[in-house]
Each structure stands twice: as C-alpha cells, then as structure tokens.
C-alpha cells in the first residue's frame, strides 16, 4: 500500500465518530479529508471532495445509511466505500455488500483492522484511484555536507516534474533556520511551514493549495518560517501531520532537508519513499556518506530507500575518482550530476529553473533523466534515461584523468 488515502466519514453518532477519528490519526497512510454528522448532507460533500475512501457508519439509521451507500456508489464510482457497525449481524453485512460496500468493519475499530481493510481494497482496486495513488511520491533530498547541492537539485527536480501536467509538485524547505528555496525560486511566500504547522487541523486540501505560493514552473513552495526564532514552532508530530497533508494534496512532495540530521530530518526521512543523498567526490563528503549510511542503517527500512548521487562530477579540484569513491562507500552511485557552476549560479541568481533557462545543458538533461527514473514516470520516458546515461558515460571524466587522486584514502 503506497501513498496517502483521502478519506471522508459520515457518522451521526458523536462518540463513534470521534473514536474513529482518533484511530485514523494513528495511520500515516490516511488523510481525513472531510467528516460529516448528517447522512443527508454527505453525498454533496463527497461530490465536492472526491475522496479515495468513504466510511459510512450504519448504526444511527441502518436503512438510511445503506441507501446512502448505494447513492454515493453511483455518484463517485472510483471511491471505495467501507461501512461500520457495532453489530456483526450477518443480514446487515449482506445488505451492505449488496449495495456496494467493499468492507464491513465491526466497532470498535483498531489500527490493524483499518490497515488490513485499506490494504485489501487497495490491492483489489490495483491501487486506489489507480493513477493518483501510484503517482504519489515523497522524496527527501539531503547531503553528506553543507553546500553539496541538495537545494539546487530539489528545486530543479521539482520544476522538471511539474512540467508534466498530471503531476502536482510541492517543495518543502526543512532547513528551518537558513533555508533558501525561496531564493532559488525568486518568490516571497506569505505562508510558511510554521503557518501550515499551526493550522494543520483546520486546513483542507483546496485551502492548503490556495495558501501556498505557486511558482511559474508549477511548483508549490512551502518555505521555512520567516523568522529564525519561529523554527521552534514545528515539532516532530506537527511535521508528520504537515507531511501527511502535503502527501494527500500533491502527487510529488520534495523535502529539502537541513543536513543537521535532527529529529525533524528523521521524520522527513521516515516519511519519504525515496531519499537522495548527495555528495561531492571529496574526502570529507565521502567519509560522511559512510558514516551516514552506518547511522541510517540502524533505522529499520531507511537505508534501503537511500540513493547516493554524486554531484559536481568533473569539477576536478581535488576530487576522488569514481571507482575509488564507490569502493570506499561500498555502494554504486545511483546518479551522477556534472559540474556546471555557471548554469547553476545563473539559475539561482535569476530564480529561473534550469529546465527553462538552460534546457539543453548537460546538467539539466541529467536532472531530467533523474526525474524520469522516479517511480510513476512512464516507461517510455525511463528508456530515454538510458540513452542519456550512455551519452553521459562518454562525457564523464575518465578514471585516468583523476588517477592522481585515486590513491586518496577515505579513512
Ligand atoms: N552540479 C552543480 N554544478 C555546479 N555548481 C553546483 C552544482 N550543484 C550545486 N552547485 C552550486 O553549489 C552551491 C551550493 O548549492 P546548494 O545551495 O544547492 O547546496 P545545499 O546542499 O543545499 O547547501 P546548504 O547545505 O547550505 O543547504 C551553489 O552555489 C550552487 O550553485
Ligand atoms: Mg540547501
């Protein structure tokens, strides 16, 4: 089960509705899009919000609730409907299934019950709402030291992804004190991560999108708080909820981490489907890759998501050769981005992404290839990446060129 399911619930009984909401709050894969206490208003709500999953509580008025299940099954046929009841009465279960409910859950519902039900309907439907869920990707971009190029990649990758019409891309700046994604995109957003964290329980998806600044490239930006002292507003739980909301609202959420590897960075790493760890081919950076992989390896499931990317390849000054670098980190690089200081600095100074300012630059093309390698991008596009890669194989500096540095040890 991947992605976040947007949920709508209807239950006229306050106690069971509140208890279900508490259970939902413990599920990272769920975003409660809307709740309703009246059967007669609910059809309109689901038409407006188009949730992935709908939960209808039957007990307040089973006959009325079952008519509603049938009605909304016709109105939003791509949503999966679950029903709940305190009684596991065979007749009621049968009636619910006949009017289109996919699952019958007996109250009280706990997290494993709900997870199992969601996994089952997700598997049955080949992924809820097909494309939306499959396309959902959260990517954390971090680095093995400061200034390694993480923000440059996060911003430009986001701009490339946003060019595809089906994608809705958000960039979240988690460098809470000194983040500079707003500079890269030359925008001055009013609404920051601190505002979303403070209002997360009140925001719905349309309101969130209205609040965020949308760059001309199509990327929605959620920048760091305006004042450095506001960084403390965001705690781990708050960030987890913000990321949950962002995942529900966007097909691609790119998290630009702080490199402090603090508690918030760990929340982001945990929430990410993939982690890009950038390094340059210098001794301190590569040593930190080894240290970081060791440290991240202690968190279950984390290290498998990490893809190591070599940045500023071909820079020359004191760089270590590829083979030597790969041997020392004990892994192959997932991707290699060439050094192109001029394009990068012009991009940052003008706030115009590489894909617009320097579309033909080799660096841009490699970032396009990297974007295409992400899950959910079409296979046709992914094969384009191979040709790009092979073109690049002949461009990258040969090992001989950096042979003098090959002997450098990382330890
Ligand atoms: N492939 C590249 N070629 C040339 N210069 C690059 C490349 N990638 C990044 N840079 C340059 O490296 C510098 C640092 O980049 P960036 O701010 O993206 O790094 P960072 O890892 O986000 O830094 P910080 O640790 O401060 O957040 C910038 O001047 C940028 O233009
Ligand atoms: Mg940065």
Query: Is the C-beta atom of 224 inside 6 A of ligand 1?
Result: no
Calculated CA dihedral for residues 307, 29, 249, 184, nearest 10 degrees: -30
Ligand 1 atom having least distance to the Cα of 146: 25
Q: 10-residue block means of pLDDT along the chain (411 residues)?
A: 79 94 83 92 91 95 96 91 91 91 90 85 58 70 97 98 93 96 91 90 78 93 95 92 88 96 96 96 96 94 95 88 90 96 93 94 96 75 40 34 35 36
pLDDT given at position 3: 64
Query: Is the C-beta atom of 347 inside 6 A of ligand 1?
Result: no
Ligand 1 atom having least distance to the Cα of 345: 31
For atom 11 of ligand 1, the residue with the nearest CA is: 149
| Shortest-distance ligand to the CA of residue 277 | 1
**Predicted model pTM:** 0.75
Beta-carbon neighbours within 5 Å of ion ligand 2: 151
| Shortest-distance ligand to the CA of residue 358 | 1
Full set of structural domains in the chain with CATH: 5-131 (3.40.50.2300), 136-406 (3.40.50.300)
Residue with tokens 């490699």: 366
Partners of 274 in beta bridges: 139
> DSSP alpha helices (H): ranges in 81-137?
90-98, 111-124, 131-135
CA of residue 149 to ligand 1 center, whole Å:
3
CA of residue 161 to ligand 1 center, whole Å:
20
Ligand 1 atom having least distance to the Cα of 339: 3
Query: Is the C-beta atom of 57 inside 6 A of ligand 1?
Result: no
Of the residues 144, 147, 178, 255, which should be mutated to test ligand 1's pocket, given the most ligand atoms within 8 Å of the CB?
A: 147
CA of residue 14 to ligand 2 center, whole Å:
46
CA of residue 176 to ligand 2 center, whole Å:
10
b/e sequence 17-46, b meaning 16+ C-beta within 10 Å: beebeeebeebebbbbbbbbeebeebbebb
């Amino acid at each position: 089960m991947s992605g976040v399911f947007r949920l709508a619930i209807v239950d006229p009984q306050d106690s069971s509705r509140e208890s279900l909401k508490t259970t939902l709050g413990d599920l990272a894969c769920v975003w409660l899009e809307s709740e309703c206490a009246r059967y007669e208003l609910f059809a309109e709500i689901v038409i407006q919000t188009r949730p992935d999953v709908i939960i209808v509580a039957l007990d307040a008025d089973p006959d009325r609730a079952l008519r509603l299940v049938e009605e909304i099954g016709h109105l939003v046929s791509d949503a999966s409907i679950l029903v709940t009841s305190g009684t596991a009465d065979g007749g009621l279960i049968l009636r619910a299934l006949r009017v289109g409910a996919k699952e019958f859950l007996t109250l009280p519902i706990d997290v494993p019950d709900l997870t199992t039900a969601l996994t089952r309907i997700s598997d049955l439907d080949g992924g809820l709402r097909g494309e939306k869920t499959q396309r959902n990707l959260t990517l954390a971009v971090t680095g093995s030291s400061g200034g390694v190029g993480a923000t440059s990649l996060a911003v430009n990758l986001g701009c490339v992804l946003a060019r595809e019409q089906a994608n809705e891309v958000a960039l979240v700046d988690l460098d809470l004190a000194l983040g500079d994604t707003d500079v890269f995109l030359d925008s001055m957003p009013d609404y920051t991560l601190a505002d979303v964290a403070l209002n997360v329980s009140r925001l719905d998806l349309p309101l969130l999108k209205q609040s965020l600044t949308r760059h001309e490239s199509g990327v929605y930006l959620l920048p760091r708080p305006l004042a450095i002292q506001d960084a403390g507003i965001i705690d781990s739980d708050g960030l987890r909820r913000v990321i949950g909301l962002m995942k529900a609202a966007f097909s691609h959420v790119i998290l630009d981490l702080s490199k402090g590897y603090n508690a918030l960075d760990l929340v982001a790493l945990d929430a990410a489907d993939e982690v890009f760890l950038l390094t340059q081919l210098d001794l301190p950076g590569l040593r930190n890759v080894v240290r970081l992989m060791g440290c991240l390896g202690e968190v279950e499931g984390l290290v498998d998501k990490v893809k190591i990317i070599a940045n500023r390849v071909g820079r020359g000054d004191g760089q270590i050769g590829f083979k030597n670098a790969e041997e020392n980190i004990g892994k192959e690089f997932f991707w290699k981005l060439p050094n192109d200081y001029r394009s990068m600095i012009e991009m940052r100074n003008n706030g115009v992404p590489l894909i617009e300012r320097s579309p033909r630059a080799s660096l841009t093309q490699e970032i396009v290839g990297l974007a295409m390698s992400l899950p959910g991008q079409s296979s046709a596009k992914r094969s384009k990446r191979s040709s790009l890669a092979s073109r690049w194989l002949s461009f990258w500096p040969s090992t001989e060129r950096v042979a003098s540095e090959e002997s450098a040890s990382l330890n």
